[in-house]
Amino acid sequence: MTRAPYISIHVPSALNGQRPTTKDVIAAFVHEIGAGRLPGGSRLPPVRVLERQLGLSKNTVQIAYEELVARGLIVTRERDGAFVASRAAAHGLPLAVSEPPVPQLRPSPLLFASPPAEGMLRLSAVFIDPSLLPKERFSDCMRSVLRSPGLAPFYDAQGYLPLRQAIARRLELRGMDVRPENIVVTVGSQQALDIVCRALEVRRMATEDPVYPHARLLFESHALAVSGLPLDPFSPIDLDLWESRLRAHRPGLFYAITSFQNPTGYSYTTGEIQSVCELAARHQFALLEDDWGSDMLSDSEYRPSLRALGGENVLYVNSFTKKILPALRIGFIVARADQVPSLVAAKRLSTLASAPLMEAALEEFLSRGYYDTHLAELQRELDARYELCVASLRELMPAGVRWTTPGGGPTLWLDLPRAVDLTALRARMAERRVHIEDASFAFYGAPHLHGFRVSYAFLAPGDLRRALEMLSEEIRRS
Ligand SMILES: Cc1ncc(COP(=O)(O)O)c(C=O)c1O
């Protein structure tokens, strides 16, 4: 049985170096309880502990406790110890300490109105169906690392070197010139973004609009002035519009989700990536690429990244969390070697280090070849679910509904006629136990699209089909 920790008590004569008597012990408790400083229910030190602490002779405390029980100030419970009697019993005194004020916290920036209730079909999740994730193989790696005598007693704040070496090798295969010295391991790519913000000198940023809301809210929470460059996933990027916005806002950094953009599913063409690099050079802003969608579909590896085309000045973040296990929480930043010390310093301030145990287990997972085997299986399954999703939309959705066809990543964007009231639709879907999200948080002002993300990676095929059938029925009813 877990026991409550016991409170400590000062007996004044002991503080003077004298041996307290039973009377002193009683007086000390009467004083503290009477002053309301020992709340009812607090566990008292066991007799022998207090005797040892205070250097008392045997039975001094036992006799004092018996007297306190007799006075109704404490109670004893067999095999459990002695406790301050509830305040009502012990004189009914209010707590004598002054109540300190409530810490002043900023209001939560996370305004997500209606999280999915337990058991709802989550059409909005960016996660992959847990049944497709390699829990057993990862457990093997974890066990092997825990048994290994080589597990370092300390940590490398930049990240476990063998893991950085393995990541660098993978990125090189994707056309990026990256060495282990360029990599900082993080707690997911969310922390990667946070670390970049902590280290940033610039105060103005731009992102796509709409954008992954946790990124925008994070940037704003770092007091960065952020503006959005409109992205219409049904058309090529309007580079002239972007240039005029960039000229007006003058950001020092542009955050871009170049593959399977969250929330639209849009992927930049190679030409658009080149144009973004040209804009960056012309208007002198740096680039931060979030490559979250890589590894998530068969063809995803062959898309050139901004980091591959733009070179070493591009900051790059990515993560293993979605693709292996959400509980893994490992991501990374790629930066020029001369920028790494600032990023590592920012990481130290944030968390000192990412968990070396997880880093070592992930390295084991990569070096045993499990990640590649897993990706091959995962991509096959995600391809099938993607095709099911798109075929179902084609079959079920009424005229006027359109959707993006990202060909990768976990979600696509479903766009509805303006006549459909999204709030009412969400409510009716919730009644039918299907969660669709409020995507308005992804936009900077009034949304220029009229829809939400649909995930095909999270739900089992039967559930996905059922959820889409209900969605089509409710859209037709709107
Ligand atoms: C675009 C994008 N970037 C970063 C993240 C953060 O992911 P994680 O911290 O799990 O790696 C997410 C999470 O959904 C995301 O959608």
Q: What is the spatial distance between Cα 456 and Cα 113, in angstroms, rounded to a whole number? A: 23
Nearest to 186 by CA among 336, 332, 315, 352: 332
- The predicted structure's pLDDT at residue 90: 47
195, 211, 320, 322: which to mutate for ligand 1, most atoms within 8 A of CB? Answer: 322
| Per-residue model confidence as pLDDT tens digits over 122-154 | 998 989 999 999 999 999 999 999 998 767 677
CA of 472 to the centre of ligand 1 (A): 29
Atom of ligand 1 nearest to the CA of 262: 1
Q: What is the spatial distance between Cα 156 and Cα 185, in angstroms, rounded to a whole number? A: 10
CA of 71 to the centre of ligand 1 (A): 61
DSSP string, 375-404: HHHHHHHHHHHHHHHHHHHHHHPPTT-EE-
The stretch 305-330 carries a mean pLDDT of 95
Ligand 1 contact, 319 CB (< 6 A): yes
- Residue 215's H or E segment, with its range, is helix 213-221
Atom of ligand 1 nearest to the CA of 126: 14
- The predicted structure's pLDDT at residue 88: 43
CA of 293 to the centre of ligand 1 (A): 9
- The predicted structure's pLDDT at residue 1: 54
Query: DSSP class of residue 187?
Result: S
| Per-residue model confidence as pLDDT tens digits over 16-54 | 677 888 999 999 998 888 877 888 888 899 998 888 888
Tokens of 31: 């004083």
Ligand 1 contact, 321 CB (< 6 A): yes
Ligand 1 contact, 268 CB (< 6 A): no
Whole-model pTM?
0.87
Ligand 1 contact, 262 CB (< 6 A): yes
Q: What is the spatial distance between Cα 62 and Cα 46, in angstroms, rounded to a whole number? A: 9
Handedness of CA 347, 348, 351, 357 (dihedral sign): positive
The stretch 336-361 carries a mean pLDDT of 95
The stretch 47-62 carries a mean pLDDT of 87
Q: What is the spatial distance between Cα 405 and Cα 73, in angstroms, rounded to a whole number? A: 72
Tell whether the model's pLDDT for residue 92 goes beyond 70. Answer: no
Atom of ligand 1 nearest to the CA of 212: 1
CA of 190 to the centre of ligand 1 (A): 6
CA of 317 to the centre of ligand 1 (A): 10
